[in-house]
């Protein structure tokens, strides 16, 4: 049976995104607990963050077939993903935030868009063999 295009592939992608989001959320909560001096809670939240990241890694390994057999193909996919984020997603998000009066958020979206573009350029350098 073919995974690509199946409902299960869609579910794996959804699970990956949710677990990565949870990992980031718990990591942020841990930072806040540390800042508040609650080291025990921070430790627990960091452990939970690590667990969530591990689950996401399991789903990603399944999605890519367990190994990276075509590095250039994976990098090319990364380049394309960064391009979409840079050219479309973050620019649209910045425009929406600006229209709604969230100037600071609009600037943050634009800054991340620029950083994403730099990431895209770096990935292109890796593919072309220009990274030292």
Predicted confidence (pLDDT) per residue in 4-36, tens digit? 889 998 999 999 999 999 999 999 999 999 999
3-state SS of the chain is: CCCCCCHHHHHHHHHHHHHHHHHHHHHHHHHHHHHCCCHHHHHHHHHHHHHHHHHHHHHHHHHCCCCCCCHHHHHHHHHHHHHHHHHHHHHHHHHHHHHCCCHHHHHHHHHHHHHHHHHHHHHHHHHHCCCC
51 and 100 in a single domain? The answer is no
Looking at the 3D structure of the chain, how many domains does it have? 2
Q: Tokens 């909560």 sit at which residue? A: 29
118 and 76 in a single domain? The answer is yes
Q: What's the CA dihedral at 90, 91, 92, 96 to 10 degrees?
A: 100
Q: How far apart are the first and last CA of the chain?
A: 42
117 and 82 in a single domain? The answer is yes
The 10s digit of each residue's pLDDT in 75-113 is: 877 787 777 777 788 889 999 999 999 999 999 999 988
Residues 26 and 45: beta-carbon distance below 8 Å: yes
Q: Is there a domain that residue 1 lies in?
A: no
pTM: 0.68
Q: Is there a domain that residue 102 lies in?
A: yes
Boundaries of domain holding 14:
7-63
Domain end (from 25, 44, 63): 63
Q: Is there a domain that residue 50 lies in?
A: yes
CA atoms of 24 and 30, how far apart (whole Å):
10
Query: What is the pLDDT, as a whole number, of residue 79?
Result: 82
The 10s digit of each residue's pLDDT in 50-77 is: 999 999 999 988 888 765 567 777 787 7
Residues 77 and 128: beta-carbon distance below 8 Å: no
């Amino acid at each position: 049976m073919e995974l690509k295009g199946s409902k299960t592939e869609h579910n794996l992608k959804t699970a990956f995104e949710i677990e990565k989001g949870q990992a980031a959320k718990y990591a942020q909560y841990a930072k806040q607990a540390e800042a508040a001096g609650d080291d025990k809670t921070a430790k627990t939240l960091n452990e939970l963050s690590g667990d969530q990241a591990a689950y996401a890694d399991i789903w990603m390994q399944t999605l890519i077939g367990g190994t990276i057999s075509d590095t250039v193909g994976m990098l090319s996919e990364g380049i394309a993903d960064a391009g979409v984020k840079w050219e479309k997603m973050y620019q649209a998000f910045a425009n929406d935030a600006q229209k709604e009066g969230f100037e600071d958020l609009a600037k943050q979206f634009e800054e991340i868009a620029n950083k994403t573009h730099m990431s895209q350029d770096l990935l292109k350098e890796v593919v072309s063999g220009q990274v030292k």
